[in-house]
Amino acid sequence: MKILLYTFFFFAFTNEYKSQEKPLITVIKLISAEEQADFDIALNYIDINKVYQDIPKNKRKSTWEEFVAFNRNIGKDKKFTNSFKYYDYDVKESINKNSSNVEFVSKIPSSKIKSIVYHLELENNRWIVTDIKYIK
């Protein structure tokens, strides 16, 4: 699996790879950037003004960064990990012209979060995460 991901990322970052990336790839890149707390890279894949629209505009970026930092710090505890375990989920992707959903449905029956749904919109010929829902 890792070899497949490495191969994809190699081709995704070369000039020879010209096709539009699928919404799932955008979500994977966002998750990866957030796990590394690389906010500048993560901002390429998320519209924090839309995802955090219920928070005052001047606090959206700091709220997002604090949430990411919290998740990253909790991953330092031996009981938890900040790595997203893709193998614990069934992945569903639906695309409808200029919008899409990527859903991670937990395979673990006792999981507190049953699924995570990323809503994306096509902006300037690339997918951007505009909403994230955690279904309990």
Prediction pTM value: 0.79
| Edge-first strand listing for the sheet containing 89-96 | 89-96, 99-106, 115-123, 126-135
All structural domains of the chain: 25-135 (3.10.450.50)
DSSP element (H, E) containing 92: strand 89-96
Can you tell me the distance from the alpha carbon of 17 to that of 14, in angstroms, rounded to the nearest whole number?
6
List pLDDT tens digits, range 86-99.
889 999 999 999 99
List pLDDT tens digits, range 3-17.
444 444 555 554 444
Check pLDDT > 60 for residue 105.
yes
Check pLDDT > 60 for residue 18.
no
Confidence (pLDDT) at 73: 76
